[in-house]
């Protein structure tokens, strides 16, 4: 079932755009692993926060993606730029008003 | 720019599926208003919470959708079933690892 993972990461002061650059680096492996949508974003009201919203074929697909080389490299590169303060919500989709 | 709106709503005890039914009611108006993705979901660990994750063409498209008849009707119908406790995150997407 469609799995949605959303969250935010607080970065070290002034390092938001560096984290955005890491997270938006093109990764063909992700699509091949069942990632349907992966938006990385910002909110001017929170200048040191990076937001993500991901839609996956399943929770298992998301879980397995964490073991991809590109994902592990991105996490290792981003970690020093983060404060550790984060939020996360994940859920299994049970429908959409866009689908009949 | 792509706008992402995510959040959760705590429902009155036992009313989660009623709220899901309202939010997943097919609404062709949404797609016509710039809604690209709208997932409604649940998490077994939080039995009285409904989650949403929406992707829009822009923040303006999302804002205007709140004035759609189908949206206003859904909100009015769901409100009595909610406790008022909610979370919300919204951001402007600046990229995706799925896009080159």
- The band of A100, judged by pLDDT with boundaries at 50, 70 and 90, is confident
Delineate the domains of chain B, giving CATH numbers in brackets.
3-90 (3.30.70.100)
Nearest to B38 among A26, A27, A98 (CB): A98
ipTM over 0.85: yes
Distance between B72 CA and the closest CA of chain A, angstroms? 14
Q: How many CA atoms lie within 13 A of B7 on its CB side?
A: 13
Of A4, A31, A43, the CB nearest to B39: A4
Contacts of A87 (CB under 8 A, 6+ apart): A7, A8, B89
Test A40 with B6 for CB contact under 8 angstroms: no
In contact, A55 and B6? CB cutoff 8 Å = no
Q: pLDDT tens digits, residue range A9-56?
A: 999 999 999 999 999 999 999 999 999 999 999 999 999 999 999 999
Q: What are phi and psi of B38, to 5 degrees?
A: -155, 100
- The DSSP code sequence of B32-71 is HTTEEEEEEEE-TTSTTEEEEEEEES-HHHHHHHTTSHHH
- What's the mean per-residue pLDDT of chain A? 96
Looking at residue B100, what is its pLDDT? 85
- Out of B4, B6, B94, name the one closest to residue A89 (CB): B6
Q: pLDDT, tens digit, for every residue of B38-77?
A: 999 999 999 999 999 999 999 999 999 999 999 999 999 9
Q: Tell me which residue has tokens 């080389």.
A: A69
């Amino acid at each position: 079932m469609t799995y949605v993972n959303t969250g935010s990461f607080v970065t070290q002061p002034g390092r938001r755009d560096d984290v955005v650059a890491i997270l938006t680096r093109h990764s063909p492996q992700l699509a091949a692993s069942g990632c349907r949508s992966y938006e990385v974003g910002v909110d001017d009201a929170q200048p040191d926060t990076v937001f993500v919203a991901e839609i996956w074929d399943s929770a298992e697909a998301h879980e397995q993606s964490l073991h991809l080389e590109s994902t592990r490299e991105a996490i290792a590169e981003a970690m020093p730029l983060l404060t550790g303060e984060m939020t996360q919500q994940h859920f299994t989709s049970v429908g959409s008003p866009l689908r009949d």
